[in-house]
Structure 1
Amino acid sequence: MSQKRSIFEEVGSEAPKEAPKAVGVIDKGARGARRGIRLWLMALFALVVIMIAVGGLTRLTESGLSITEWRPVTGAIPPMNAVDWQSEFDKYKQIDQWRIENQWMTLADFKTIYWWEWGHRQLGRVIGLVWALGFLGFLVARQIPTGWTGRLFLIGALGGVQGAVGWWMVASGVTSGEGVTTVASYRLATHLGLAFVILGFIGWYILLLGRSERDLMQARRGKEDKLFSMSTGLMHMGLIQILLGALVAGIDAGRSYTDWPLMGGQVFPPDAFMIEPVWRNFFENPGLVQFIHRIWGYLFVIFAVVVWRRSRASAHAGTQFAFNTLVSGVALQLVIGIATVIYAAPVEIAIVHQVMAVLVWTLILKARFLAHYPVATSIRKG
C-alpha cells in the first residue's frame, strides 16, 4: 500500500532510488577474482622473464654443468660446509668439461659457476611454488572464472615439463669419457623455446583478463582478420628465430664469424658442409648455423615491416600504436644482433640481445591481441 504524501511536498524533492543493475549471463558466468588472478600471472610473467635472463647468464658464464645431479627437492639446499663443497667439486671433476677445459679451476672458481646454476634452478623452484600456491588458493576459494581452470593448470603443467627438459638438456653435457664439454644445442633450443611458449601463454592470459568478457565479445566483432593472421605468422617466425638463436648459443657460433654483412669475406660461409653426415651441419657447424640465423633474421625484419604497413590501415589507434612499437623493437633488436656479431658476443651485449628477444616477443603478443580484440576509439576521441 502506498503511503500518504503531504500536499505541501515538492514534486521531485525525493531522489528516485537507483534500480539494481542487471547482471548479464556473460558477466555472471565470468565471475571470479579476475584482477587477483591477473596480478598473480603478472608475477609469474616477471619471474619467467628473470628466469630467461638468469638462464642466459648461466650459459654465457659456462656454469650450466656445475651441478651434475638432478635433485628437485634436496637440491634446494646448497653446500653448507667445506666438506659439502669439496664433495660437489669432486663430482664436477668426473665430467668431461672439467677434464678437457677447466682443470685450472680451484674450489673458489668452482663456487662461482656453482652459484649461477644453483640460482637458476632455485628460481625454477620459486616459479613452481608461486604457481602452485596461486592456483590451489584460487581453486579452493572457488575464485577461478568459468573456463579458466584448464588454462591456469596448463601453465603449471608446462612448467613441470620445462623442469624435466632442463635436466634432459644438462644430462647431455654431464658425460665422462665422451669428449663432450657443453649441452646439446638442440636440447638447449628446446629448453629456451618452451620458456618462450610458457611466457606466451601467460602474457596472452594477462591480456585477456585485463578486459571483461562482455568487452572481449564486443571487440571480437571488430577483429581485423588479415592483420591477426599476419601477426600470427610473425609470432611463429619470431619463435623460430629464437630457436635458431639458441642453436647459435649452444655451439658458440656467435663468435665464429665477426664480420658483417659478409661472413669470412664471403656471402656464404666457407666450409659450411664439412661435417659428415651433411644434416649435422645444420645443428653443429658454427658457420652454417650463424648464417641461417642471420638470413632468418633478415626475413623476420622484412615481414615485420610488411605487417606494420598493413597495420597502418587499421581504424583503431591503439592497434596502430602497438604495431608501431613492435616494428621499432624489431629494428632495435636487429641493431643489437649485429653488434653482438661484430663484438664476438661478449656477455654484456649477448644478454641484452636475449632479453630484447623477450621484449619483442611481448610486443608481438600485444599487437596480435589488439588485432583480434581491438579497442574501439570514439569519433570524438579520434
Structure 2
Amino acid sequence: MRASTPPDRSRTVAIWLFGVAALVLTMVIVGGATRLTGSGLSITEWRPVTGAIPPLSQAQWMEEFEKYRAIPQYQQVNRGMSMEAFQFIYWWEWGHRFLGRLVGLAFALPFAVFLFRRQIPQRLVGRCWALFALGGLQGLIGWWMVASGLSERVSVAPERLMTHLGLAFFLLAALLWTGLEAWNGPSRRPARGPWPWAALGLSVMVYLQILLGALVAGNDAGYVLTDWPLMDGRWFPEGYASAGLWTTIAHSIPAVQFNHRIGAYILCACAAVLIVACLRGREAPLGLRRMGLALGLGIFSQAALGVWTLMSATPLSLGLAHQAAAAGVLGLATGFLWIARRA
C-alpha cells in the first residue's frame, strides 16, 4: 500500500544510498587498477547497451584486438602485444565499465520503486534526482576521458582523468551525505560557531587534494622523482614551469607532484590543529570530537601511505591502497562536516 505522505526519514532509503556508495567506492578502486595496469584504452568504442556483452568467440576477440592495434598506445607503447596480454587489459576495462552499469541499475531501479511508494523524504527527492543525473553525466565524462587517448595521445588527458575521478569522489560524498540525512531526519536547529566553517574548509581541502592527486596519476608522476622529502635532491624541483600556466598546473610532472606534496603538508598541518582542538574542546559534543580525531588521524595515515607509495615507485597494491584511503578520508571529512552542521 502506498503511503499518503513521504516520511521525514527512511532508514531503508538510507541503506540503499549507503549501498550505492559502496558500489561507487568499488568502482573507484577498480578504476584505479584499470589505470595502473594501463588498461583504460583497451576498449575503443562506447556502447552503453551492447558493450555489456564481452567478446564470446575468437573472431570477436580478434575484432576487438584489431581496433586496439589502430590506436597510438598500441603502436607506440604495446606493439607486439600478445592476445593473452590484450585480454588481460581488456577484462580490466570491461569490468570497470560493467561496474558503472551496475551502479546505474542499483540506483535507478530502487529509486523508481521508492518514488512510486513515496518512501523518500520529500526534502531528499530533488537531491536523489540530482544524484541520478550526475551518475549519467559520469558515464559521458568517462567516455570523453577515454576518447582523449584514442587518436593523438598514448594515454588519457590528465585534466579529463581529474574530472572523471573528481566527479566519482563527489558522488561518493553526496551519497554518504544524503544517506545520513535519510537515516537521521531533518536537523531541528543548525549549529553555530566555528566548527561548521572549520569542517567545511577542511572538507574542501581534502577534495582539492584528491584532484591534485588525480593530476599526478594522469601524468604518471608517481613513477618519477621518488625521493622524499627532496625531489631529485632538491627542495624545489627542476623544470617546474612549463609553457603556460595551465600546462604547468596540469601537465608538468615536477609541478603536479610538487603541488600534491605541498597540499599534503598543508592538510597535515590542519589535521594537527584539528586534533589539538578536538582534545581540548570539551565544550564540543563528544561525537563531533571523535569524528574530528578520526579525520585528523586519517589524514596523517594517508600522507604516510602516500610517501610509502611514492618511494616504492607506485606498485599496484600501494597505488590502490592510496586511492582507497583517499576515499576513506573524504568519507570521514563528509561525516565530520555533517555532524558539525548539526552539533
What is the CA distance between 1:277 and its match in structure 2? 3.8
Mean CA deviation greater in 364-373 or 120-129: 364-373
Q: Is the 8 A contact 1:225 1:372 kept in 2?
A: no
Q: Are positions 1:206 and 2:173 aligned together?
A: no
State the AA in 1 paired with 2:295. Answer: L
Equivalent in the alignment of 1:9: none
1:195 to 149, 168, 171: 168
Once structures 1 and 2 are overlaid, which stretch shifts more, 139-148 or 325-334? 139-148
C-alpha distance in 2, partners of 1:29/1:318?
32
Residues 292 and 104 of structure 1: CA distance in aligned 2, closer, same or farther (over 3 Å) = same
Shift of 1:224: 4.2
| Alpha-carbon offset, residue 341 of structure 1 | 1.2
Tell me the residue number matched to 1:352.
Answer: 321
Superposition deviation, residue 36 in structure 1: 1.3
- Indicate the residue corresponding to 2:221 in structure 1: 253
Distance 1:308 1:371 in 2: 15
- Distance in 2 (CA, whole Å) between partners of 1:372 and 1:75 is 43
CA RMSD of aligned residues (A): 1.5
- The alignment status of 1:337 with 2:310, answered yes or no, reads no
Give the aligned length: 338
Find 2:92's aligned residue among 95, 111, 116: 116
Displacement of 1:301 after TM fit? 1.3
Q: Give the structure-2-normalised TM-score.
A: 0.95
Residue 270 of structure 1 aligns with an amino acid whose one-letter code is E
Change (3 A) 1:266 1:62: same
1:237–1:300 Cα contact (<8 Å) kept: yes
Task: Read off the aligned partner of 2:247 and give its amino acid letter.
Answer: R
Higher relative contact order (CA 8 A, sep 6+): 2
Query: Comparing both structures, which one devotes a greater share of its residues to helix?
Result: 2
Does the CA contact (< 8 Å) of 2:6 and 2:119 recur in 1?
A: no
Residue in structure 2 matching 1:163, options 127, 139, 146: 139
After TM superposition, the score normalised by the length of structure 1 is 0.86
Moved more, 161-170 or 339-348: 339-348
Partner of 1:378: none
Correspondence 1:101 to 2:77: yes
Question: Structure 1 residues 133 and 281, CA, compared in 2 at 3 Å: closer, same or farther?
Answer: same
Q: Map Cα deviations across residues 111-141 of structure 1 (whole Å, 9 max, x no partner).
A: 0000000000000001111111011101111
Alignment of 1:223-242 (within 5 A): 223-242=191-210
- Alignment match, 2:11: 35
Letter matched to residue 131 of structure 1: F
Any stretches of 5+ residues in structure 2 without a counterpart?
none
- 1:217 is matched with 188
Amino acid aligned to 1:245: G
What is the one-letter code of the residue matched to 1:217?
A: R
Query: In the alignment, is residue 48 of structure 1 matched against residue 24 of structure 2?
Result: yes
Q: Which residue of 2 aligns with 1:281?
A: 248
Deviations 1:12-41 (A, max 9, x none): xxxxxxxxxxxxxxxx97516712111111
Tell me the distance in 2 between the aligned counterparts of 1:279 and 1:144: 43
What is the one-letter code of the residue matched to 1:297? Answer: A
The equivalent position to 2:338 in structure 1, one of 346, 352, 369, is 369
SS of corresponding position for 1:148: helix
| Residue 319 (str. 1) matches residue 288 (str. 2) | yes
Quick one: distance in 1 between partners of 2:275 and 2:195?
A: 9
Rounded to whole Å, the distance in 1 between the matches of 2:238 and 2:123 is 54
CA contact (8 A) 1:231 1:307 kept: no
Asked which structure has the greater CA Rg, the reply is 1
- 1:315 Cα deviation after fit: 2.8
Quick check: 2:41–2:149 contact (8 Å CA) kept in 1? Answer: yes
What is the percent sequence identity of the aligned residues?
Answer: 43
CA distance in structure 2 between the aligned counterparts of 1:193 and 1:308, rounded to whole angstroms: 27
Q: Displacement of 1:285 after TM fit?
A: 1.5
2:126 maps to 150
**Match of 1:156, as an amino acid?**
F
The question of whether the paired residues in 1 share the 8 Å contact of 2:124 and 2:178 is answered with no
Any idea what the Cα deviations from partners look like across 1:43-82, whole Å, max 9, x if unmatched?
Answer: 1010000010000000000000000000001100100100
Letter in 2 for 1:292: N
Q: How do 1:56-135 and structure 2 match up within 5 A?
A: 56-135=32-111
Cα distance in 2 for residues equivalent to 1:41 and 1:225 = 30
Q: Residue 12 of structure 1 aligns with which residue?
A: none
CA distance in 1, matches of 2:275, 2:196: 12
Residues 1:310 and 2:277 are matched in the alignment: yes
In structure 2, the partner of 1:244 is 212
Q: Matches of 1:266 and 1:192 in 2, distance apart?
A: 30
Q: Residue 265 of structure 2 is aligned with which of 298, 305, 312?
A: 298
